Chain A
Amino acid sequence: MNEMPRADALDKTTGRALYTADVRLPGMLHAKVLRSAVPHGLLRRIDATRARAMPGVHAVLTRDEIAPGTVPFYGYFIKDQPIVALDRVRYEGDILAAVAAETEWQAAAACAAIGVEIEPLPPVATIEAALAPGAPELFPDPPIGMVPHYGEGASATARPQPNVCFEFRYRMGDASVFAACDHVFEDAFRFSRMHHLHLEPFVSVADCSRDRIEIWSSCQNPFPLRKEIARMFRVPENRITVHVPYIGGGFGAKNNCKTEPIAVRLSQMTGRPVRFCLTMEEGFLTNTQHAAVLRLRTGVMADGTLVARQAEVLLDAGAYSDASPLVAEKAGYRAPGPYRWQHVDSVCRCVMTNTAPAGPFRGFGGTQAAWASESQIDMIARRLGIDPLEMRLRNALSLGEPYMPGESGIDSDLGLGLRLVADRIGWRSTNRQPNRGLGIALGFKDGGGVNKPAQARVKVSTSGDIFLQCGTVEIGQGVKTALTTIVAEIMGAPAHRVAVAPINTDSVPFDQGTNASSGIAVMGQAVAQAARRVRQQVVEFAAEMLNVSPSDVSLDDWHALHGAERVPLAPLVMRHFGGTGFEFSADGFFKAKHDPRAPLETPCVFWEIGWAAVEVEVDRETGRVTIPRLVVSGDAGRALHKAACRGQDEGAAIMGLGQALFERMVYDGTTLLNGEALEYRAPLAEDLPAEFLSITQEQGHGPGPFGAKGMGEGAMLPIAAAVANAIEDAVGVRITELPITPERVLTALHAKQESAA
């Protein structure tokens, strides 16, 4: 059976879908900003006198125009990023001033007329430079911040040392077990930095011309944005409305404050709506993935049994903390991988450098962790002469086995997925071609966010039209379709009777944000509860009207079924409530329960797994790696829309393949060299593997409605390690730094030849 098209199919294939970039308001002004060309320095003077007199200019925002009594800093755990530079600049691209003018061109021209004097300070470009003794400090005075409460084994410290804004640590078991290991292996890995490259730019429109702040934003987290704007501008939250139309991709970047504080302040200053839309080039300077250095020390028995692991992960947080502390929690917590350990000691530090701020990126620390962990598991297997697939099967956690003490059980059969992708790639095949090799890897992350509540409302009109109101945004993942499916199935209604309400923070129930693959496993549970409750109301109403027992009534397309009777509901509603009718309405709620034993406050809601098997071909003359075959698989628990699930796995896998082979932000010191579309190489259709198979498993163990789980990040996690593992299988060299460029492969091949000679 062909499934229905996605709920957003018509909007998005006709050009009718409205995005924030398309929002136009009467009298709207346009904002542009002046950015620092100096990576690190003291802002001695900033003078906008000339800029203010330029044609079309309505306002210039510098540190001198910050309203008294407001708090000009934003961030997650640590409020360290200023709206515009105050006393210091911290990266090339740091915002010095902003202009609102009639046109973008006029705003840009005025920016160029702002006088700036910066006294340069020595910059730190890399993790190593930032941690060196005597390194220049980005924040000599610690910014305001907090450390969350953790459960058993987990802890964190704010600013444990200069240029480290946050350190997360997780410990389990006794380190003495290392002494009993047959082997202890230490390996180090480097992870490169990508930009999200969402096609819709960072953009918002703010209107403060009336008695409230109204914001349209391409933002994944409308309610946290509202809270942050309220805190910064000292405005009550019920005087702020955030609208989120369709979002043209985010991949983690569009979290909390980005363009919004400047748009709001300029709108306050001018009394006019202000649109602030970044260019793609500015996007590269606004949020990125975390580059990382990872060291693993792993103790094993001779038969391949894993015993103990120490992990040290250093994340390059860039110039401002953004969500780095949250990413550090996850990178540190996920570093062991989904295996059975007697002892774990993991630490992750966020290191500040004078480069673009890093933040959430699909995989959220799990990608960095999986790159190192799944590479090392393979290296150990090969050193011990054990088949890498067998090594994983022997140590992988079983279905239902807790990840760590106090955690929830793993809700996918890891071995089932491993065998599935291994079979499809022909793992056992003896027909091996020269310079070709096979690799396998197992990606995993705790999904659904930490201690995250979700609320939803379902309403049904007299005529049986169903409204779904919830704060999860449609960013491309297909959440409107999936949540619609849940409501329709519970209500016994065709999917086209359900419409998802536009997101407006005054009219949809509170939500913490669209992140952590939480749409189905977290919000989906709240939506299902709301739908079941409203269904119960309707059933009880119909039973009363028909004078029968509710247990004998069921619903089908806005008819009450009772025995052989099929009674239309609309006339019953009007008979009881009058001709204008009524709306049945119910709310749903879900949150994982607190548990003091759970390392991260609550046991993980679900486990997001990505399996990959790949065949590579290595050109020994050029070092170029090509991908004849790639097999990826995720576990949707139950797929609420099969094509949407497939799209999530395939998109994630190709993003991972780009990271594995070529995609990266290239820095020369603190200067980004390829921060624009042409020179930043992201995957195109021509980069597709010759054969690319994705398999959506439906193992049925998810906590969401009908056994569903979250999707969208898992299939990215194993790709890079699977490729590196296949390269070792093909030509016997191990690449430990991403991306796996021809140069790195060739260097490794030459080194191997020399050591053999």
Chain B
Amino acid sequence: MTSLRLTFRLNGAAVSREVPTSAVLAELLREEFGCLGVKLACSRAVCGACTVLLDGAPVASCATFAFRAEGAEVTTIEGVPEDDPVRRAFAEHSAFQCGYCTPGMILLAKALLARNPQPTREEIVAWMSSGLCRCTGYQMIVEAVEIAGRAGAAA
């Protein structure tokens, strides 16, 4: 099996690993780096549970080759600080139930607010529709993103 050495930044820290060329990003993050907050559900880049940020852009890590991380900044839920306004909004507004989609939803929302700090409700709904949540019925997630947006604006 061909392998290659990857060097990238994971949650702010420089890391390096020898990985098979066929390695998938989600597996690398979970198995090699212990980022168990990267959740695997559909494994087909549909549900969004495995979403991580690659240089700030949300990607489905279950369907992204690990080599895409070379030289990039990778952010998983483990890299989101406790005082992050999006994380806090999800926690305090109870915008989660079983929690399996939550890391992906939080990272997805962070990517939206980084691009568009004051999104409209329609923009939030459209953007967050790339994540599947089977529990909440979405309305409280949409509201949490609105709350986080307002918190960011006030900061």
A residues at B contact (CB < 8 Å): 2, 5-6, 8-19, 21-22, 196-201, 246-249, 251, 279-280, 475-478, 641, 643-644, 646-647, 650-655, 676-678, 682-686, 688, 692, 694
Contacts and interface: CB of A to CB of B under 8 A. Distances in A.
Given A651-B97, A686-B129, A249 B103 contact: no
Contacts of B44: 280, 676-678
Contacts of B131: 684-685
20 contacts: A9-B92, A13-B88, A15-B35, A21-B40, A198-B134, A200-B39, A200-B100, A248-B100, A647-B94, A650-B139, A651-B137, A654-B138, A655-B137, A677-B42, A684-B129, A684-B131, A685-B126, A685-B138, A686-B125, A694-B139
B141 A279 contact: no
B41 A280 contact: yes
A596 B145 CA distance: 53
Contacts of B49: 199
A201 B43 CA distance: 11
B98 A249 contact: yes
Contacts of B99: 8, 11-13, 17, 246, 248, 476
Given A13-B90, A641-B94, A647-B140, 5 more contacts: A12-B91, A13-B87, A16-B37, A201-B40, A683-B137
Given A647-B136, A650-B140, A685-B141, A15 B42 contact: no
A61 to B, nearest CB: 24
Contacts of A685: 124-126, 128-129, 131, 138, 141-142
A199 B47 contact: yes
Given A651-B136, A688-B142, A279 B43 contact: yes
Contacts of A654: 137-138
A11 B96 CA distance: 11
A749 B21 CA distance: 56
B98 A9 contact: no
Contacts of A2: 92
B4 interface: no
A261 B128 CA distance: 38
A47 B155 CA distance: 67
A200 B98 CA distance: 9
Contact of A692 (B93, B101, B139): B139
B35 A476 contact: no
Nearest to A18: B36
A275 B76 CA distance: 25
A362 B46 CA distance: 24
B98 A197 contact: no
A197 B101 CA distance: 12
Contacts of A200: 39, 41, 98, 100
B134 to A, nearest CB: 5
B82 interface: yes
A6 B135 contact: no
Given A199-B49, A678-B46, A685-B138, A15 B103 contact: yes
B39 A248 contact: yes
Given A18-B36, A643-B93, A682-B132, A476 B137 contact: no
A22 B36 contact: yes
A676 B42 contact: yes
B63 to A, nearest CB: 11
Contacts of A5: 91-92, 94
Contacts of A688: 125, 137-139, 142
Contact of A12 (B36, B82, B102, B132): B102
B77 interface: yes
B37 A249 contact: no
A480 to B, nearest CB: 12
B69 interface: no
A626 to B, nearest CB: 14
Contacts of B96: 9, 12-13
A151 B129 CA distance: 49
B23 to A, nearest CB: 12
B78 interface: yes
A478 B134 contact: no
B34 to A, nearest CB: 10
A198 B132 CA distance: 10
A14 B132 contact: no
Contacts of A196: 134
B138 A199 contact: no
Contacts of B66: none
B81 to A, nearest CB: 9
A14 B134 CA distance: 19
A518 B72 CA distance: 48
Interface centre among A15, A643, A677, A683 (most CB of B within 10 A): A15
